[in-house]
Structure 1
């Protein structure tokens, strides 16, 4: 198995300039993530305010991730048919409508529907942004650019809750949804500065009347080996990332830490992650993806393995820092390996399937923790997830670009090309 070698985007024969793409590439993401970061902690509170129980409120929160998962595959088809720029504009418009509906919602079912639809719009936005960056950024800068994109998203998630806290105290809980609608509108307007980089590809496709229509199923069948190897590794990375977000606050609360102390621990971890975003991308560009993927998953697994041994705020903060180092170094790795593997024909459809795997892992990790916790306790759940991380590190060491299986495939292909 060999991961497809991506071609350089058009125009990379000349010196690449960062400045023209900074605003269209990172501006909409910064605005959208700011609204997302503000809204996410408030969804459960809004549901409870509308009469939901704690369990029902948790289900409403989960609908955001479910919407993203359901929207991943259709998002690829939409971006392929209409182009990344139009898909981004449509996603921003749906985001504004969903957040406005949540602001006006007077019933729990309407809030739940708005949250689910907003998750679907987020999947289209993220997919189209990913596909656009794949074309816009030359291969030699790809990991740094996509790691920085992940860092931009993290900044929004970091600042958003503080903005939400101010809005709730100054106005009302519902004002947070109106703020998110505003950031979605601003992100859509800023998307207008993006050039449509794949317009020529779609025009050429329309002219080829005899060429069969590229479907998601066809793309998945054609690239099944990559999805079943590197894609599974990405699923395991996402599971590790989301599981730490789930178990850290639960373990901290079980050790009777004050909510403000837990917030400080998360803030410190977020700061560590932001410091490592660009260095992680530089390592991937210089040495290869596997040199970040494997250590990152191992560090997150180590943190999960040590967590049951911690009982004080300082000990928990140290373990959270270890996991933050892994998560920060691997910022953008899911995007980068997806862009590396994506074919030219069927790019958006492939990335839709890729993101579906990543989002599946994002739901599977917390799901495993919930299941083991229900059967045993939080400690065994952390150990079980650490074992999954160990499996993920071994899997990535074999199948990630630069891993043992990848190097063997490249060597074999090279020997076959030599004249005999």
Structure 2
């Protein structure tokens, strides 16, 4: 596989099952347990606030593990990184199943987040090297899209098994799915780098990469942080506003599910547009649409109008599938690629953690409608930052 392949010489189908299959299965595993983690924490005697903190441990585990994950991937390779992450995730899931107190359970949840960081970093790094530049955005959007399909399907599969064997059934579904993901990852063809000649100079470090690419991190990186903040906030906004309107849980779930369905189904066209028209052609419209939709939500008065706003959010988020990974791959240097992507994902996770925190803080201090509107303005700010700093043409492969 060569990054210098020309159109017609490489097909995504040639690596489809080993490259995208693990992402689908890992998504199924995560989707199966995400709705169950707070219930398990409550069964162990946790308060509502404590259960919310336990759920947050997944994000915290991913956030603090991004940089170590990049070092691990650089040392052992992408394929071994994914297999090792699957193994760690299995250990963590068994800790959750057999834990006897909240501390053990919380440790297992934290390790699930850490394993996800290694897995996600390794799969992105693999595709960055394996897929030619002219197909890069389609590869990344497909990677993000199949993960979303897994997250969508996981809760339904988990619910069926829970009905048969109880609450721990969701963890066993995740264990089977992630074990299969690790097995598929082992079938990935080894990467063949097209670099030639002796390597000059010391190996890049995290610090040297930050300094060498600080302009990228302080411009496009800030835009990525804002994108992640908006994306993570949208998952909280719709249920909270539905509750504020007095909608039933069934109606809320239906609205949320339909928004997620649109989000999930339109990932491939966005990748094709990014490959053909450049990254700005998707980055700016997606953030403008999400920003406007979030600003409209406080103006909705019932299920029908909230559904329309939620569908617009889902469409805006769906067309940006793979955007963050694609931009990271565009700017990543050949030497130190994994470490660079670890820093990139760290920026993304800071935004992902900060978005709901900003929403919660503004809601507590002012009102829920003000907090949602502020999130909408973050979306418009993301569109402005990315529109200004992303080149009009595709980024030159480094």
What's the TM-score, normalizing by structure 2?
A: 0.95
Query: Which residue of the partner structure matches residue 96 of structure 1?
Result: 90
Quote the Cα distance in structure 2 between the aligned partners of 1:10 and 1:352: 24
Could you tell me whether the CA contact under 8 Å between 2:66 and 2:342 is conserved in 1? Answer: yes
Per the alignment, residue 364 of structure 2 pairs with 374
Partner of 1:128: 122
In structure 1, what is the Cα distance between the partners aligned to 2:377 and 2:17? Answer: 41
User: 2: distance between equivalents of 1:9 and 1:391?
Assistant: 34
Q: 1:29 aligns with which of 23, 28, 38?
A: 23
Residue-by-residue CA offset, 1:83-126 (whole Å, 9 max, x unaligned): 10111111010001001110111211111000001101000000
Tell me, yes or no, if structure 1 residue 170 matches structure 2 residue 164. Answer: yes
Q: Decide whether the 8 Å contact of 2:3 with 2:194 is kept in 1.
A: no
Deviation at 1:274, TM superposition (A): 2.6
Indicate which of 332, 335, 349 corresponds to 2:322.
332
The match for 2:290 among 300, 309, 313 is 300
CA distance in 2, matches of 1:122, 1:166: 24
1:146 corresponds to which of 140, 143, 151: 140
Match of 1:236 among 223, 226, 233: 226
C-alpha distance in 2 between matches for 1:177 and 1:199:
38
Residue 83 of structure 1 contacts residue 199 of structure 1 at CA under 8 Å; is this kept in 2?
no
Gaps of 5+ in 2: none
Deviation string, structure 1 residues 190-249 (Cα, Å, up to 9, x no partner): 111102215787xx99x85x7313211111111111111111111111111111111111
Following the alignment from structure 2 to structure 1, what is the Cα–Cα distance between the partners of residues 242 and 215?
A: 41
Is 2:7–2:134's contact at 8 Å kept on the other side of the alignment?
Answer: no
Secondary structure, counterpart of 1:294 in structure 2: helix
Structure 1: tracts of 5 or more residues without a match: 1-7, 411-420
Distance 2:179 2:363 in 1: 41
> 2:334 matched to which residue of 1?
344
Q: Distance in 2 between matches of 1:85 and 1:132?
A: 8
* CA distance in 2: counterparts of 1:10 and 1:118, whole angstroms: 36
- CA 1:198–1:377 in 2, change beyond 3 Å: closer, same or farther? farther
SS at match of 1:197: coil
Q: What number of residue pairs does the alignment pair up? A: 395
Give 1:252-263 correspondences, 5 Å limit. 252-263=242-253
TM-score, length of structure 1 as denominator length? 0.90
Partner of 2:281: 291
